[in-house]
Amino acid sequence: MNAAIRFLAGSFRRTPFLRDVNELFDARLTFGEKLADRVAAVGGSWSFIIGFSLFLLAWAALNTLVLVRHAFDPFPFIFLNLMLSMLAALQAPVIMMSQNRQAAKDRLEARLDYETNLRSEAEIASLHEKIDTLLAALGERREAAE
């Protein structure tokens, strides 16, 4: 068992200790993936929800109150409904791509956490072995001194 602990401790000493998950993951992102993450960040924000709600209210007010006789999209707002459907059809897969990437990032972070825990466990076992060796040497010195 001591040989296995020494092997683990030695192999972990050769690997870099600090690895930032964000840097590791972001270094591999393509332009499309970065764009998808940005769309998901904007589309899932309160500022987007509030801004889009204001746009919808303005659209409805313009077509029902301002342009009463010559509305370009009269009530029931069929053109607006078409635009919203197309937006949802495009936005949903982009957000799902971003969520899948976030899940992959979480898996990478979990793997790095596992490696850190394994490295810590190996180091603690190595320290226990050293302390046991020191205590044994101290006990031999006391016996020799008596």
Total domain count for the chain? 1
pLDDT interval class at 143 (50, 70, 90): confident
Q: What is the pLDDT of residues 99-125, one digit of tens each?
A: 998 998 899 899 989 999 999 999 999
pTM reported for the whole predicted model: 0.61
Both ends of the chain: CA-CA distance in Å?
34
pLDDT interval class at 66 (50, 70, 90): confident
DSSP code string of 48-109: HHHHHHHHHHHHHHIIIIISSSS-SS-TTTHHHHHHHHHHHHHHHHHHHHHHHHHHHHHHHH
Domain with 136 in it: 2-145
